[in-house]
Structure 1
């Protein structure tokens, strides 16, 4: 069984925590954009209060362990592995609670190249525990603004995990998808589930716009987030997002497997 101490070592070795690839400059830039109300950075969160850049820096220091010193403006950012471990424990507790009541769940990712395996393993375990893994709006189109302008994407599911594809991409069911921060895919999925008369998810598991968009609509939402993505942490601070796990979301996909084993063991969902 993977112990907290061995997982902590893995987090540091894989640079999921500790000194991470995200630069301090990138983090500060996105804090400024969030404070300015940029929807590309708020990714579905509509804050109840005004968040200035200094407020965000203090929040991220508390939740992730980054430096709270505004004079620290360059170099690599950091994530405190103890905060990651504590959040993984809370994440596992929410999985266990959903499994006990056989709750319907929805999983989605804007990082399919990195995190699809992580979510797919969670979907498999929750399904085996009696949860219905929902796949609403499969094949539906959603227009997402990208750096190339407005692009039409298609909602697809792989191993029960939602992702979006651009037209002409790999066949449905393949393991490639587009990177996106948009909350529009989860809004489309939830609206389709409601229009069909349910069931609606009692737990949404995802990243970026999936966790923020679902949480903002009142659904229990949990997921990981990097230090340059303040929106999920603001959602957690204001109560719209239940659990956010601070970690680097851009490392090799295989590095997330020990995290899956850890949370499934803690949630008593190991197969």
Structure 2
């Protein structure tokens, strides 16, 4: 078992052993497809972000090579992708710094994920620690129905929270309150949550923590947002490059949920929030 005060070198070893960084499961074809879709302003790839400048595919690839460590050679069109573990570690350090700042001023925080089965526990541990530090972890619009466009057409989902972390469930799903939820890239859930909080007179979050549309949707609305992103999620890194997303940690977002526990411990330790 890795200790609470996990040294950077040991976390680097864990990142590589678990496939969180180094050679990752995301394949090159999927990443390049996402870059093409983003360049074409396809909402499946922009995740609620409206870029301020043109981002042709070559520039997206160049950015992802810089921020993640993927190959910047457009002639490489197959095989597996790679994330530089040093970039992941630097991202986690910056991520922890934003959590520490939020805890220091006891800021209201909203957590949300499109990967509840993989990343729900990671965010849940952070939410518990921020709550213990005096931050209000807000949970607006719980139970609200949201129509989300999926590859199967428009489907109705319900907004729910587990350990203070927002997720969406398919309409009619059982086990409300469990960690079972739907995979989603949509920015609609964060918009609905923020609209509900505003309609009730607040408080509004000063920080949104999550992934996919939660980060891009919040950043687009001018709320500080930080999160995790894989090599096929260019929108978050573009948001960071344009200044609307504060921190993005490059990491594979599809490995087993228990593999993220050392990341939780590392971040909390760096943020001086270890319990």
TM > 0.5 fold call: yes
Matches within 5 A, 1:18-29: 18-29=22-33
1:124 corresponds to 2:120: no
TM-score by length of 2: 0.98
1:152 corresponds to 2:156: yes
Other-structure match for 2:97: 93
Q: Which runs of 5+ in 1 are unaligned?
A: none
Other-structure match for 1:64: 68
1:174 corresponds to 2:175: no
Query: Quick check: 1:134–1:160 contact (8 Å CA) kept in 2?
Result: yes
Query: Quick check: 1:170–1:176 contact (8 Å CA) kept in 2?
Result: no
RMSD: 0.5
Other-structure match for 1:14: 18
Q: How many residues align?
A: 271
> 1:174: how far off?
1.4
- Could you report, residue by residue, the CA deviation over 1:219-240 in whole angstroms, capped at 9, with x for unpaired residues? 0000000001100000000000
Query: Quick check: 1:91–1:222 contact (8 Å CA) kept in 2?
Result: yes
1:207 corresponds to 2:214: no
Q: Which runs of 5+ in 2 are unaligned?
A: none
Other-structure match for 2:40: 36
Other-structure match for 1:55: 59
Write out the 4+ residue segments of structure 1 that deviate beyond 3 Å after TM superposition. none
- Could you report, residue by residue, the CA deviation over 1:75-121 in whole angstroms, capped at 9, with x for unpaired residues? 00000000000000000000000000000000000000100000000
Query: Quick check: 1:204–1:219 contact (8 Å CA) kept in 2?
Result: yes
- Could you report, residue by residue, the CA deviation over 1:177-220 in whole angstroms, capped at 9, with x for unpaired residues? 00000000000000000111110000000000000000000000
1:219 corresponds to 2:223: yes
> 1:170: how far off?
2.0
Matches within 5 A, 1:94-113: 94-113=98-117
TM-score by length of 1: 0.99
> 1:171: how far off?
2.6
1:141 pairs with 133, 138, 145, which one?
Answer: 145
> 1:167: how far off?
1.5
